[in-house]
Structure formats: C-alpha cells, structure tokens
Amino acid sequence: MPGTLPLRGTLLALFVALTLCAGCRAATKTPIPAAATDAQLAQTPGQQTAVFAGGCFWGTQSVFERVKGVVATTAGYAGGSASTATYPQVTTETTGHAESVKVVYDPSKITYGQLLRIFFSVAHDPTQLNRQGPDVGTSYRSAIFYADDEQRRISQAYIAQLDAAHVFNAPIVTQVVPLQGFYDAESYHQHYADSNPDNPYILVCDRPKVAALKAQFPELFQDHK
C-alpha cells in the first residue's frame, strides 16, 4: 500500500490514489444475505477471536474496529512463520504471510456469522485473487484463518451460500484455512487509517469502506475512539 507517498496531501497524490484504488472500495453497495449457518449469541459475555485477511490491513482494521461487539483489533500477519513476520519480508511476497487482522469480539453481542457478513460485504472484494485494488500479491489475498471447527464450518457454509445465490459477479476466491499463528504487525501499522486520515490512499480506499459499514449495518456501527 502506498502509505508513504511523498506527495501525500497534494492534489496530484489524490489523483494517483483515485487511479490506483478504483478496485478497492467496499465489495457491495447493499447488504448481502445473512449467514444461514451461524453460531447462536452466547448467554454470557466473553471473548473469542477471528482472523481475516482482505488486502491491506489498514482498511480491514478500520472497518472491524467500528463494529459493535468487537473488543479489540490488531493488524498483523498470518499464513507464514514467525521468523518472517516483518513488513519488509512480507512485501517480498515469499513468506506465505497475508496481511491480516485479528478481531477479538464478545460472542454475546455479535456472532461469527455477522463478522463474516461484514467481511464479505464491506471490508474487501472476495472475488479478487491475490490482490485488492492496487495491492497485488499473495500477501493481499482473501483468507479466513479459522480457530476451530465451528469457524471452519460456518465460513465454508457461508461461502457456498453466497456463491449459490450468485451474490457476486464472480466466484468467491477466499481461502478457508486453519490458523497456525498470528503475528502482530509493526506499531506504525496499528490503526493506521485513524492516525493518517488525510493520506490519499486512506481517503480513497478505506474511508468508503467505513462509510459502507455505517450505511449498510447501522445497527452494528459504532464510532471508533
């Protein structure tokens, strides 16, 4: 992602971002169907973890940190080994890592299926293979890293449901794979969209995702503090 554009904040930089980010806005303009297979809301508060990869982790995090029931989010890397979980290494596209976001949520307030619905509809485009908009490579792939069999079952059933209903114009390419490890990204990547609101990439690629979340799921939207 072009987060360190030397022309940041200029009209030229904004034009570049508009050109590059044409394909990295929210995946849909209207809410997609809810998951037919889902967990029940828990009877008591608690914490569970979901890990999603959907292109640049700046945008994915900026969406999920604004979802009611989400306790915390962390940008990081999943899919590769701990020894290669650094941004300079991941950008070589040789580590097996995907830029990912760990979502800690309260299952008494939001279900895993509801998180998946947001992931597929506003966080990214699940039909783009190994890219999101201008960001190209396996580190920008669409993936669900499941923590247990229930998450695997719900994820696979939802993908099958959406594909069968032809919700998207192309088949979903999202990988559903077991979580082997999650490694926090560098501190400057954490909540990057909030810390750099005037970055042209953020303005064009990530702000529309947050706007889509608010418009499509007002009952789940909360301002990030």
Planar angle of CA 197, 224, 28, nearest 5 degrees: 75
Q: Residues 173, 140: contact at Cβ < 8 Å?
A: no
Q: Residues 170, 127: contact at Cβ < 8 Å?
A: yes
56 part of the active site: yes
Residues 6 or more apart whose CB falls under 8 angstroms from that of 160 comprise: none
CB atoms < 10 A from the CB of 205, how many?
30
Q: Would you state the structure tokens that stand for residue 101, as one six-digit string?
A: 């976001």
CA distance 142 to 129: 7
Question: Considering only CA atoms, which of 184, 174, 158, 189 is closest in space to residue 54?
Answer: 174
Q: Would you state the structure tokens that stand for residue 88, as one six-digit string?
A: 């300079």
The phi and psi torsions of 176 (rounded to 5 degrees) equal: -120, 105
* Residues noted as catalytic: 56
